[in-house]
Amino acid sequence: MKRLALGMVATFFLAACAGGGGGTTNSAGTPKAGGTLKIALESELRTLDPLKSSQRVERQVYYNMYDSLVTIDPSLKIKPGLATAWQYSDSTTLQFTLRQGVKFHDGTDFNGDAVKFNIDRILNAASSPRKSELASVKSVEVKDASTVIFHLKKPDAALLAQLVDRAGMILSPAAIAKGGADFGLNPLGAGTGPFAFVDWKRDDHLTLKKNPSYWISGRPYLDGLIYRPITDSSSALAALRTGDIDVAGTNAIADKDVVSVKSDSSLIYKDAAGLSFGGFEVNNASGVFADKAKRQAVALALDRAQIVKNVFFDIHVLSNGPIPPTSWAYDSSERLYAKPDVAKAKSMASGFSFGMKTPNTPGSIQEATLIKDQLSKADITVNIQVEEFGQVLNDAEAHKFDAALVGWSGRIDPDGNMFGWFHTGGGFNDGQYSNPQVDTLLE
């Protein structure tokens, strides 16, 4: 059996990159029903509750458990999901027609009440990354079991795109109530997706089983899925080659190994364009980077092209900002990042140090080490602080960091790569960037 390695494009916003091309080696055969697929994840999940999720690997699992109101086709065009149709009666009134006959895994009905429950759950949450994604939504009205109306505070061209992702995932209200405080660890019966949750043993495996009543006829082909967190990319590749896992995607396989994977006749390599970015964010509100001059000095001392070449082996490409070259909104004439200028960096600020929260993966540690070396040339000292990826996110969300290596999986509408990160109230604005002029432009 040939196993699959998936390559995804990424982009950095401070040390920026995006990648593409590559093509496909080998080919997959005709799908056959049955079997259990074993999948490597580059890190452990923190939660199975979309309300609280901020990890790319979580979303990778969610899409097999939960369905969204709308989804996308391979060309990134929005198409029906749990909603079969939608229309604006005016600029602030959006009506959805819901798919009928759909059941949650716990046997309860998917309907308008479930949609309202899930959207209200986001709007009323004390804190959630989803809140800023639905910032334009004032309320949801249930017209009948198969019709809901979103009433908006203001027009929002990006709303449908946000509902493709976790903000639009509809879960069983009964399952959420039954799960209580532990729902994110044990979401039994919560989804409508092709696979249902079975069990999750942290740092070992997460198991899903086939949903025999899935609303798409004939799907899924597989009997089940088993996810395994393998943070060491060399171990993930070895497991792929021995058959201990069947699929390794995104960051599970190191970019340095892509050439080897492509030439391995026992493996299938798929390369797909993405909309993501990655790099490191800084804490603008407190600590060393509250000083704008120090932020500018770091930006000037970074050699992003060297990072792309030495760490990512040119699998990724440089981007000019948080909107990647793969997006329709990308403008190659915009130059947000200056070329490296160590002398100018020293003139801005030097002789200071900061800590960098770094995920405990070989690629992240290599990246942080290269950044440390680059900044040392400008008399800036980087103290690398290696942590499990979930802890890096915890620290970032609590604003307990100077700098943190992070990534963003991207959104099909460029607003999704901007608002959450750079608006004062953005759900992913861990660096606490705040600029009234930027807020106005994003709004």
Choose one of 253, 272, 291: the last residue of a domain: 272
Q: Which residues pair with 208 in a beta bridge?
A: 197, 225
Q: Is residue 286 part of a domain?
A: yes
Q: How confident is the model at residue 299 (pLDDT cuts 50, 70, 90)?
A: very high
Q: What are phi and psi of 439, to 5 degrees?
A: -55, -45
Output the pLDDT for position 3: 56
| Residue 182 located in a structural domain | no
Residue 241 reports pLDDT greater than 70: yes
pLDDT digits (tens, 9 = 90+) for 372-419: 999 999 999 999 999 998 999 999 999 999 999 988 888 999 999 899
Residues 349 and 297 in one domain: yes
Does position 252 have pLDDT exceeding 50, yes or no? yes
pLDDT digits (tens, 9 = 90+) for 219-237: 999 999 999 999 999 999 9
CA–CA separation, 100 vs 73, rounded Å? 21
Of 257, 272, 287, the one marking the end of a domain is 272
Contacts of 217 (CB under 8 A, 6+ apart): none
Q: Which of 3-7, 14-18, 49-53 has the highest mean pLDDT?
A: 49-53
Average pLDDT over residues 365-374: 97
Residue 310 has pLDDT above 80, yes or no: yes
* pLDDT reported for residue 288: 97
Asked if the structure places residue 414 within a domain, the reply is yes
**How many domains, the chain?**
3
* Co-location of 309 and 389 in the same domain: yes
**Whole-number Å distance between alpha carbons of 397 and 169:** 22
pLDDT per position as a tens digit, 22-76:
344 445 567 789 999 999 999 999 999 999 999 989 999 999 999 999 999 988 8
Residues 6+ apart with CB under 8 A from 299: 14, 337, 338
Say which range, 144-158, 264-278, 347-361, 395-409, has the weakest mean pLDDT.
264-278
The secondary structure of 55-115, three-state, reads: CHHHHHHHHHHCCECEEECCCCCEEECCEEEEEEEECCEEEEEECCCCECCCCCECCHHHH
Q: Is the dihedral of CA 373, 374, 375, 379 positive or negative?
A: positive
Nearest to 240 by CA among 203, 266, 204, 207: 266
> According to the model, what pLDDT value does residue 298 have?
95
Mean pLDDT of all residues belonging to the chain: 90
Name the percent of the chain lying above pLDDT 90: 77
**List of residues 6+ apart from 85 with CB closer than 8 A:** 96, 97
Question: What is the per-residue pLDDT for 25?
Answer: 44
CATH label of the domain that carries residue 210? 3.40.190.10
Are 18 and 318 in contact by the 8 Å Cβ rule? The answer is: yes
Domain final residue pick, 175, 209, 231: 175
The residue with tokens 């405080």 is 181
Is the C-alpha dihedral spanning 129, 134, 140, 145 positive or negative?
A: negative
Same domain for 202 and 299: no
Indicate whether 309 and 417 sit together in one domain: yes
Same domain as 207, residue 82: no
| 265 and 334 housed in the same domain | no
Residue 438 · residue 431 · CB < 8 Å: no
pLDDT at residue 16, as a whole number: 32
Q: Once rounded to an integer, what is the mean pLDDT over residues 334-359?
A: 90
Residue 397 and residue 334 share a domain? yes
Q: Provide the residue range defining the domain that includes 432.
A: 277-442
Cα distances (angstroms) measured from residue 64 to each of 74, 192, 237, 328:
17, 9, 23, 27
pLDDT on residue 318: 82
pLDDT (0 to 100) of residue 20: 38
Distance CA 33, CA 290 (A): 56
